[in-house]
Structure 1
């Protein structure tokens, strides 16, 4: 092996894109965590999405004018800011950093090292565990994700939402092939795109927590819960309709009807009742084609799901009454 040639091979360039709207309270920390990366070949792009805070957000970005690239645009939502950054980036890889989140110092290097250790990394997206800092009560929690087999990943995205978008490292070519973030979505634009990417890209997990996500009252998910719920329901239904029989069966090891019966329980536990009902209809529809064993076992799954759903509904109702 010619180690001299290996040493001469340039490091892939990584573009860290920071979309921000009225982020004066957090932006400086986010930029500094990007600048602190122990990886040499990076560019940092900050996109101001029409902040209306009397120039406070822009003033902070301008403090780093010699170290970052800064753009300002009319307000259009985080997807529009991310898409502008992707259009202007010059890197081989995209790394999203929300203005109120933080990177571990080795976020980029760890993921580049992970990819470089694979036989082929051209069609691979890296993601990692992460920590969540609840700002109001200064509580830090780590989220440890289970490894998911590539052929089960679309099922995982459809049924869960634990991946942190800022933990991903994405080849730029993935956007050229599958498109950018949907500018019609406000809450599920990230998972919508990961679901598309997973059609032809393999997602590889790193167990290290490489991101700290800060949770606070001004975030969209906190302020606009009804909108978030509606988008989440629509997204999950769409995923269930697009999953293939092979993907669903591979993920659960059951027939299709029983696999969707299992999903009914999953969505009931998440209080996504419209999605649970959608999964129930799919399960019922494919039951006659799954053989006598499924027909005999299906009532058990349905009874268990119904029991869990009823218990959860009663518990939620009592909790709301107490809150009043």
Structure 2
């Protein structure tokens, strides 16, 4: 049985997935299986995966397009390892990523999730941002997950813990990562390796090049975000910090909804959304300026 199962979802990632696989094979930990789930790609990804099956020993599956959460779930269901690692097809790991995480997990049995710092890079290798994951300033993460910005490609999770919290929710299109992080945080201890061990590619591609029109995608993401925030509303009791963070996220949601309504020419709906944003976060200037814009 492999020690680590690496699950890689891919949608139209033909130019990138080989680099992701190579970064797994370059790990100092070799007892690894690689499971790639193709989510209905239309760019020749399948040919790349056939080649990687021969050269790198990956196992891969093909599914109709259903989004990254469903693809990750399919890979996790097929996984045989004691630990599960997630890796997006356009991200890469540094060679000692798994080794550094396994040291923590073996030393501390109560820890169920280990993640790492990461950097966001452009295609030419220029670093856009270095993220110190343990010290996140993002309000929702800080309030509900102890300040841990757990980028999916940084995660190494005990399979037993993942079985306990359940699969990613495919209905949370675009919010499934945050939902999983919060559920994991409520079920187990987190630890972070304070070194950059993952490089995340910053560009528009993959799941952002949808197989459907932009309006449909945007509405799907907004509906998903609303379901996610309503789910957080069910947590009782909410601390003051959590209430503030959740209200801020609601304001962000209403700002997005208002912007979408403006683009469609529906100014009355945009005003309603911006008014709701003001109610949720009355000290944010952006909501007032956008509300005023709908009257001008």
**TM tier, smaller:** 0.7 to 0.9
Instruction: Name the counterpart of 1:213.
Output: 200
> In the alignment, does 2:158 pair up with 1:171?
yes
SS of alignment partner, residue 132 of structure 1: strand
Structure-2 separation of matches of 1:105 and 1:183:
31
Distance, in Å, in 1 between the alignment partners of 2:78 and 2:206 is: 26
Tell me the secondary structure at the aligned position of residue 199 of structure 2.
Answer: strand
**Does 2:74 correspond to 1:84?**
yes
The alignment status of 1:97 with 2:87, answered yes or no, reads yes
Per the alignment, residue 225 of structure 2 pairs with 232
Instruction: State the Cα distance separating 1:185 from its structure 2 match.
Output: 2.5
> Relative to 1, partners in 2 of residues 1:273 and 1:50: Cα closer, same or farther, differing over 3 Å?
closer
Name the structure 1 match of 2:269.
none
1:155–1:243 Cα contact (<8 Å) kept: no
Q: Are residues 161 and 105 of structure 1, via their aligned partners in 2, closer, same or farther at CA, if it must alter by over 3 Å?
A: same
- Equivalents in 2 of 1:207, 1:103: separation in Å? 15
Q: Supply the distance in 1 between the matched residues of 2:183 and 2:206 (Cα, whole angstroms).
A: 25
State the secondary structure of the residue aligned to 2:104: helix
Instruction: State the SS of the aligned residue for 1:210.
Output: strand
Aligned to 1:74: 64
Which runs of no fewer than 5 residues in structure 2 stay unpaired?
257-277
1:190-219 deviation digits (Å, cap 9, x = unpaired) = 222222222221111221122111122224
Contact kept? 2:115, 2:193, Cα under 8 Å: yes
User: Does the 8 A contact of 1:22 with 1:57 survive in 2?
Assistant: yes
Deviation string for 1:137-182 (max 9, x for gaps)? 954311112358xxx9783349x89431111111111232222111
The number of equivalent residue pairs is 262
Q: Is 1:241 matched with 2:241?
A: no
Residue 274 (structure 1) shift: 7.7
Separation (CA, whole Å) in 1 of partners of 2:230 and 2:63:
33
2:35 to 38, 45, 60: 45
Residues 103 and 211, structure 1, Cα contact 8 Å, conserved in 2: yes
Alpha-carbon contact 2:165-2:187 (below 8 Å) kept: no
The 3-state SS of whatever aligns with 2:88 is coil
Compared CA separation, residues 189 and 141, structure 1 to 2 (3 A): same
- Which residue, 117, 124, 148 being the options, matches 1:129? 117
Output the CA distance in 2 between the equivalents of 1:174 and 1:63: 33
Deviation at 1:184, TM superposition (A): 2.0
Partners of 1:45 and 1:31 lie apart in 2 by: 10
Note if contact 2:4-2:33 (Cα within 8 Å) is conserved in structure 1: yes
1:17 corresponds to 2:10: no
**Which of residues 175, 180, 195 in structure 1 aligns to 2:167?**
180
The alpha carbon displacement at 1:228 in A equals 2.8
Are the structure 2 counterparts of residues 93 and 157 from structure 1 closer, same or farther at C-alpha, using a change threshold of 3 Å?
same
1:48: Cα distance to partner? 1.5
C-alpha separation between the residues in 1 aligned to 2:286 and 2:144?
Answer: 23
Q: Give the CA deviation at 1:83.
A: 1.4
For residues 157 and 61 of structure 1, the distance between their equivalents in structure 2, rounded to whole angstroms, comes to 35
> Cα–Cα, structure 1 residues 49 and 31, in superposed 2: closer, same or farther, change >3 Å?
same
Looking at CA atoms only, which structure, 1 or 2, has the larger radius of gyration?
Answer: 1
Q: Which runs of 5+ in 1 are unaligned?
A: 1-9, 253-258, 276-301
> What RMSD in Å do the two structures reach over aligned CA positions?
3.5
Indicate if the aligned counterparts of 2:171 and 2:224 stay in contact, CA closer than 8 A: no
Distance 1:189 1:271, change over 3 A: closer
How far apart are the structure 2 equivalents of 1:315 and 1:137?
Answer: 37
